[in-house]
Amino acid sequence: MSRFLFYPHVRGAISRLPEHYKRRYLKSRLSPPIKYIQESTEPWKRAASDNALHPSEAFEVAPNVLFPEESQRALWGGEGIVRGFIELRRTHTRCPKTWGPDLRQHMFYSEILERWMTILVSVTALKQIENLKGIDNYILETPENELSSRLAMYMKREMLLRISSDEFQRGNPDLVKKYSKFAIPREEAEWVGLSLEEAIKKQLKLEHEQARIEAETPKKYIYAQALLEQLERPTESTSESIPDEPEQKPGLTSSIRQSIGRFFQGSKSKNI
């Protein structure tokens, strides 16, 4: 974990992150489901290591999978490095062994991004791409916790931004109809696939730009606009009937607007 996340000003920025990013981030941290373990009807099973009986539930546990840095620049289809033991036939001794995915280099064409890409993929990921009829459907339909790749999340963000762009919607009506179920607002697509550190830096940058814009705007215009919005907004106190309080005249708000306009702009005919 980066030391950046332990800075005091960063902890407050985490709570100010967009809600849609928080939901996506929590879903991406979930462990992927176990798809290769079949339910057993036998209540007990015999272990190969000590030939002892154990409950069947003890064997339905996912192995500890390691995802090296190389897997983040490829598409492994959720596979990783698994460490375990094998038993030799002659001596019946246990020896450590490491299993890894079968990797191959292939070229893929993306309809959304409109370019060819040479990507290192595993055989499992290649089968999933063929079943979903293209790399676009594979990237968009596969959950983030099953992709387990920074490259895949970067491609998903680029695809969603491309789908939400006006140029893509005007020039590709067939593709817009085909991938309409994946369309999300552009403001939300910009946050897809960002790590926690990248999202915090993006949030701090947006807040800094907003503070700079507010600093360049004279305070009198900001306070005047806030006052007008407060006067035009109906409150609970005004909606309640108070017998002793006189009723507000309908032209009172407009007169206040004219007064504020004369005060700030120096003209009786201009309003804010």
Domain boundaries, the chain: 63-190
Selection from 249, 266, 255 nearest residue 228 by Cα: 255
Is this model's pTM higher than 0.75 or not? no
Phi-psi region of 78 (alpha: psi -120 to 50; beta: other; left: phi over 0): left
Do the beta carbons of residue 31 and residue 62 sit within 8 Å? yes
Characterize 232-252 residue by residue with b for buried, 16 or more Cβ atoms within 10 angstroms of its Cβ, and e for exposed: eeeeeeeeeeeeeeeeeeeee
95 burial (CB, 10 Å; 0-12 / 13-18 / 19+) is exposed
pLDDT in tens, the chain (272 residues): 567 777 777 778 888 999 999 999 888 888 776 666 566 677 777 776 667 777 776 666 777 889 999 999 999 988 899 998 888 888 878 899 999 999 999 999 999 999 999 999 999 999 999 999 999 999 999 998 888 899 999 999 999 999 999 999 898 899 999 999 999 999 999 999 999 889 999 999 999 998 888 888 788 777 887 888 887 776 544 445 445 555 555 555 667 667 766 666 655 444 44
Joined together, the tokens standing for residue 1 give 């974990």
Joined together, the tokens standing for residue 90 give 């002659």
Selection from 155, 187, 192 nearest residue 25 by Cα: 192
- Tell me the three state secondary structure of residue 198: helix
